[in-house]
């Protein structure tokens, strides 16, 4: 089973182009049981995403991709290696994705 855990909507300027409703519609047509929306630096598309997912019978997983400034450099906080959670020493060591309730 495949579940997209890092989709960005049109609310993430220059990162995503589709509205949350369109992302949910496509995920439902592909038979996904869930979809994660991670907009850049906020949860701007979350209300529309949650409503559309509920209507489509999908589990909505909501998060945000945060940009952290450290010493003048921009850092996403999670790094690019490993699972993306707990791979950096930037204060996110306890971050873990919540997947309870998802079944194969």
73: pLDDT strictly greater than 60 = no
* Token reading at 32: 């996904």
Shared-domain flag, residues 53 and 81:
no
- The predicted structure's pLDDT at residue 14: 85
Shared-domain flag, residues 98 and 59:
no
pLDDT tens, residue by residue, 37-60: 999 999 999 999 999 999 999 999
Shared-domain flag, residues 53 and 73:
no
| 90: containing domain | 68-104
Shared-domain flag, residues 81 and 35:
no
Q: Predicted confidence band at 82 (pLDDT cuts at 50, 70, 90)?
A: very low
Rounded to two decimals, the pTM is: 0.67
Shared-domain flag, residues 82 and 37:
no
């Amino acid at each position: 089973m495949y579940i997209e855990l890092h989709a960005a909507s049109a609310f993430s300027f220059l990162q995503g182009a589709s509205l949350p409703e369109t992302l949910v519609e496509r995920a439902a047509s592909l038979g996904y049981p869930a979809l994660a929306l991670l907009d850049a630096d906020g949860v701007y598309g979350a209300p529309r995403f949650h409503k559309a997912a509920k209507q489509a019978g999908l589990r909505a997983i909501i998060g945000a991709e945060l940009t952290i400034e450290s010493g003048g450099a921009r850092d996403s906080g999670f790094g690019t290696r490993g699972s993306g959670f707990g791979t950096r020493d930037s204060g996110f060591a306890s971050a873990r994705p919540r997947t309870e309730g998802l079944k194969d």
